[in-house]
Amino acid sequence: MSGQDIEIESEDGNFSAYLSVPASGSGPGVLVLQEIFGVNAGMRSIADWLAGAGFTALCPDLFWRIEPGIQLSSESESGLQRAFELFGLFNHDTGIRDIATSLTTLRALDTCTGKTGAIGYCLGGLLAYRTACHTDSDATVGYYGVNIQERLEEAAGISHPLMLHIAGTDEFVPPEAQARIHAGLGSNPLVTLHDYPGQPHAFARPNGDHSDAASAGLANQRTLDFLHRYLD
C-alpha cells in the first residue's frame, strides 16, 4: 500500500485528501471521515490500515473551508483547544456536500473497484451517520458519533447498511442519549448497533490516551467484516 495527498475538485473550490491504496493496486473504496483534529497522523494511519485490509481509502480535509491542511495532536492541550474551536465553526451541511463530492471522486479513481462506503470517528462518527442518511454510500460505519440522538429524524433517508459503535461511558454521549439512539435506530433492519460497556469516547483512536486494545480490536474486526460483506 502507498499513501499520498491528492486534490478533490468541488463547485466551491478544491480541497486536499489523503489517499492510501492496497498493495494489489485497487480495491473497494472507503471514505475516512475525520475527528475534530483534521487529517492528522491518526486519520492517515486508519486509511493505511484500511488499505492493508484491501480497500482504497480516501480521507478528505473537511475543515478546508475554515482552514485548509489542519493536522492537530489529540494529546496536547493546545491541539484540543483548537480542535474544539474548529468543531464550533464547522458547517455540517456543507460538510455533507463535501463528503458526497469525495464519494464521487473516490468512485472515479482507477484504484477503486466500484462499491464505496465510509467510516468516521467522533465528529466523523456523526458525519458517518448523516452520510448514510443523505448520500449513496454503499455501507457506512460510525465510531462514537456525537449528537446522533438530535438528528434521528434524518434516519428516514437510510437506504444502505449502517453500523454504529457506541462507547458505554462516552462523556460526550451520556446514557440518555445512547438510549435515544437505540430507541430511534434499533428496529431499523439496515442499522447494526454495537455497545462497548465501560469504554470511553475515542477508545479506538490509534495511540490515543483512551485507546483500549481489546475493544478497539473487536470493533475494528466487526468493521472490516461489515465493509467486506457489503463492498467486496
Q: Is 48 a catalytic residue?
A: no
Q: Which candidate in 59, 170, 210, 212 is catalytic?
A: 170
- What CA–CA distance (Å, rounded) separates 6 from 17? 5
Complete DSSP assignment for 185-228: HTT-TTEEEEEETTPPTTTTSTT-TT--HHHHHHHHHHHHHHHH
Amino acid identity, position 176: E
Cα distance between residue 27 and residue 224, in whole Å: 13
Q: Is the dihedral of CA 28, 131, 87, 204 positive or negative?
A: negative
**Active site (annotated) includes residue 170:** yes
Cα–Cα separations (whole angstroms), residue 230 to 75, 135, 208, 213: 34, 16, 29, 26
Catalytic pick among 133, 138, 201, 210: 201
Rg of the chain in Å (alpha carbons): 16
DSSP state, residue 183: H
- Catalytic residue selected from 122, 133, 165, 210: 122
H and E: helices and strands count for the chain = 6, 8
Is residue 201 annotated as a catalytic residue, yes or no?
yes
How far, rounded to the nearest angstrom, does the alpha carbon of residue 145 sit from its chain's CA centroid?
Answer: 9
Neighbouring C-beta atoms of residue 226, cutoff 10 Å: 20
Residues known to be catalytic? 122, 170, 201
